[in-house]
């Protein structure tokens, strides 16, 4: 078993959490009817774990705005889950964002995940809307002014790819917290020591808000390598070695993925971490297994007659409307 290098500042007092950890899940808005069926089957499977909240992403360039809205609405009204909507600066004016926040408020949504966001794929350079928000901290302040929302933001243990360095990125995180954010959810990482060093540096910079580790169970190693190049997450050599030769062995890949994520969470738990945010990629199997190994057992699901997956799937929504 690997041992964590003891290279932390130890700014954060360590106490071993009692009982199972708190958890939350991220889902992707479906792009087709088949994807919607898989999403709601995944939610059926994960709901009994009683997550603190679940979030729905927004799509590059805000491309899934209406699909995200309808998915969040159904999660809250039909699944009975505390749902959070992702919202970005990209492609929207301040007035449009204010109107969307009003719509969320009217349907009972009180939690927003505020991000600068990724530009559309055909225009990789970020350009703020002429009448919009340029930075996530500005968006947080706008959300705070619009209503009493709970606001989560992003944190980057290895630094945002466009940040000058990690210290400047932590300073940006502090601006988001100072603007009104209540927690930060980290980009995924694979070495627990990476998070622990980041947590201590953030504490040294005066950040006291919770920094919730983002956990990505690896379903497709090649895709994770590709995405990691874009988002700045390091792939440790030991992780590449574990997945080497498993391209045509999906069952062993699942076993390895569950082992890696479970060990990662256990290492963090030993350092006082008591909450995790899982990037599910709309799949339940790995997340279920990992949570079980962490001591979380599904509670009986009440009020889901036949399950959400058995209910009619809402019609596809044109994301350009509204």
Catalytic annotation, residues: 26
Cβ-contact 210, 183 below 8 angstroms: yes
Phi, psi of 310 (to 5 degrees): -85, -10
Q: Which one, of 131, 231, 241, lies nearest residue 188 by Cα?
A: 231
- Paired tokens of 291: 């949570």
Place of tokens 């009994």: 48
| Residues 6 or more apart in contact with residue 96 via CB below 8 angstroms | 132
Q: Which one, of 32, 95, 103, lies nearest residue 72 by Cα?
A: 103
Helix, strand or coil, per DSSP, at residue 211: strand
Q: Which one, of 11, 15, 57, 37, lies nearest residue 309 by Cα?
A: 37
Phi, psi of 34 (to 5 degrees): -65, -40
What gap in Å lies between CA 223 and CA 110, rounded to an integer?
33
- H-helix or E-strand spanning residue 65: helix 65-77
What gap in Å lies between CA 94 and CA 86, rounded to an integer?
16
Angle (CA) 298 51 260, round 5°: 80
Chain centre distance of CA 314: 24
Q: Which one, of 179, 176, 182, lies nearest residue 156 by Cα?
A: 176
| Residues 6 or more apart in contact with residue 282 via CB below 8 angstroms | 27, 28, 30, 35, 38, 39, 42
């Amino acid at each position: 078993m690997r041992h964590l290098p003891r290279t932390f500042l130890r700014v954060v007092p360590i106490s071993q959490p009692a009982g199972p950890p708190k958890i939350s899940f991220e889902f992707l808005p479906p792009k087709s009817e088949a994807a919607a069926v898989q999403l709601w089957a995944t939610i059926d499977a994960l709901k009994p774990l009683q997550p603190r909240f679940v979030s729905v992403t927004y799509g590059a360039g805000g491309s899934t705005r209406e699909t995200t809205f309808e998915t969040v609405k159904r999660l809250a009204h039909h699944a009975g889950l505390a749902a959070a909507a992702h919202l970005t600066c990209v492609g929207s004016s301040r007035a449009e964002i204010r109107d969307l926040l009003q719509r969320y408020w009217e349907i009972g949504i009180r939690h927003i995940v505020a991000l600068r966001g990724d530009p559309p794929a055909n225009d990789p350079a970020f350009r703020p809307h002429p009448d919009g928000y340029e930075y996530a901290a500005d968006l947080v302040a706008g959300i705070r002014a619009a209503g009493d929302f709970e606001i989560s933001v992003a944190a980057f243990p290895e630094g945002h790819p466009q940040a000058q360095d990690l210290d400047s990125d932590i300073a940006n995180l502090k601006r988001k917290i100072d603007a009104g954010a209540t927690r930060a959810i980290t980009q995924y990482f694979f070495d627990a020591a990476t998070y622990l060093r980041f947590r201590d540096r953030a504490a040294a910079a005066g950040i006291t808000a919770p920094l919730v580790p983002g956990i990505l169970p690896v379903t497709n190693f090649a895709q994770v390598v590709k995405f990691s190049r874009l988002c700045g997450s390091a792939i440790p050599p030991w992780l590449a070695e574990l997945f080497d030769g498993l391209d045509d062995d999906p069952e062993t890949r699942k076993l390895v993925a569950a082992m890696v994520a479970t060990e990662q969470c256990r290492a963090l738990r030993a350092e006082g971490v008591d909450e995790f945010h899982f990037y599910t990629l709309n799949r339940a199997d790995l997340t279920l297994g990992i949570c079980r190994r962490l001591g979380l057992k599904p509670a009986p699901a009440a009020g889901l007659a036949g399950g959400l997956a058995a209910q009619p799937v809402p019609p596809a929504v044109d994301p350009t409307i509204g």
